[in-house]
Structure 1
Amino acid sequence: MIEIYSYLIDNIFQFLGVVLSIVYVVFSIKQNILCWAALFAASLCNIFAYNQINLPLQVSMQFFFIGTAFYGWYQWKNTKNNLPLKVSKWTIRQHLFWLLFGFIFTLILSLFLKKLNISSYPFLDSLMFTFNLIPMYMTGKKIIESWLYFIAIDIISGIFYLNTGEYFFSFLFFCYIGFATYGFLTWKKDLT
């Protein structure tokens, strides 16, 4: 019991970040604008958590998520004719562009991190960074396929964190797989 308590204390920011991240995704599925406030708070906690485990791009990503929280709030609040932003789809061409961009950007970032020797896992840090940014941007625009992108990166992230002993983050990303599946099915009902 003392070991669990000690683990929780040592990883308090990771624990709080996980709880707030779950609040974010649940509110996001429900298309509740408060999801963006939860993302903001989760990202603040996760800055410290990712810094503890030496994943600099994950730290940087949290700053992006803070910006995304403001962007998402604005997008969902300020719509044409005061109508709520509708769920929509991307074309195949848009997906191909973003996937190609994502893979190229991942390789460039990975080489950069490797050269500077500032990440314990340069390729995976780069991959998780890039392929979390793309669907987060899509979520701000209510693009339904964002959930499918999240499922793919959540599988990779969950396994990565399990293998590195970051159990709170591993738990979060395995939960995200279920949430993302549910989010996709829920948003599909609202697809225009």
Structure 2
Amino acid sequence: MLSPEIREAIATAYAAMTLWEVAAVVLALTYLLLAMRENILCWYAAFASTAIYLFLFWDVSLLMESALQIFYLVIAVYGWWQWRHRNQDGETLHIHRWPAAMHIFAITGVGVLTLVFGYMLNNYTSAALPYLDSFTTWGAVVTTYMVTRKVLENWLYWIVIDGAAIYLYIDRGMYLTALLFVLYVILVIIGFFQWYTLYQNQSSSQDQTVTA
């Protein structure tokens, strides 16, 4: 059960939401649902949601968050390009898995960037939870790239990142956003199993083609 203070904070946050913010949230959820179905339209929803968030964050002086949205705009275009066009073998991009070495490289990279930027934020700014904030930011950057490449394990990464973000937003009193990320965690778990099924079907089709 939620405490009266948390329920009141959620109600206040909900009442303060603008139509633009509602649109951004709806588009962000649309992106996730479409990505779960491996639908290229997800990148259109991602681009629109990110464009709105860019101006929303800028309007409340969250400059670093605004800068991150610029990256997301670029990666949305890149993701659309990767999903739409064919590779050198003339095939469209399929769901695939990274070898262990790639995961070690990605996790190590996120860890190093978290420590470096966390240290800088901790010592030179008044940022709250600088290391956790850095982890969720850089983790999201790497994992979003994994989505553009249709790497199956991206969903497992999102579970960890979104789970950490829930604590981050609760600590900052952003209870409505925290609830949204609880929904994200549920959806990414479903997304993993959906992509895993697609991955198995694609692998079976490729094996049959090779056998034939």
- The bucket for the TM-score relative to the shorter chain is 0.7 to 0.9
Within the candidate set 4, 13, 25, 1:18 is matched to 25
The alpha carbon displacement at 1:179 in A equals: 1.0
Equivalent residues in 2 for 1:34-183, closer than 5 Å: 34-51=41-58, 56-80=63-87, 83-117=91-125, 119-183=127-191
The 10-residue stretch of structure 1 (120-129 or 3-12) with the greater mean CA deviation from structure 2: 3-12
Structure-2-length-normalised TM-score: 0.80
Q: Distance in 2 between matches of 1:56 and 1:120?
A: 15
Q: How far apart are the structure 2 equivalents of 1:181 and 1:69?
A: 22
Q: Which moved more, 1:137-146 or 1:175-184?
A: 175-184
1:6 is displaced (CA, Å) by 6.3
**Alpha-carbon distance in 1 for matches of 2:127, 2:104:** 28
Which 5+ residue runs of structure 2 have no aligned equivalent?
A: 1-8, 204-212
Q: In structure 2, do the counterparts of structure 1 residues 4 and 154 end up closer, same or farther at CA, with 3 Å as the change threshold?
A: closer
8 Å CA contact retained: 1:57, 1:125: no
In 2, Cα distance between the equivalents of 1:55 and 1:70?
23
Cα distance 1:98–1:73, how it changes in 2: closer, same or farther (>3 A)? same
Which letter does structure 1 place at the counterpart of 2:72? F
Q: Equivalent pairs: percent with the same residue?
A: 28
* Match in the other structure for 1:29: 36
The AA in structure 2 aligned to 1:10 is A
CA apart distance, 1:58 = 3.3
Per-residue deviation, residues 115-138 of structure 1 (Å, max 9, x unmatched): 331533322221110111111000
TM-score (norm 1): 0.87
Shift of 1:55: 5.3
Q: Any unmatched runs of 5+ in structure 1?
A: none
SS at match of 1:84: coil
Contact 1:155 1:174 in 2 (8 A): yes
Structure 1 residues 4 and 166, CA gap change in structure 2 (3 angstroms): closer
One-letter amino acid of the counterpart of residue 135, structure 1: T
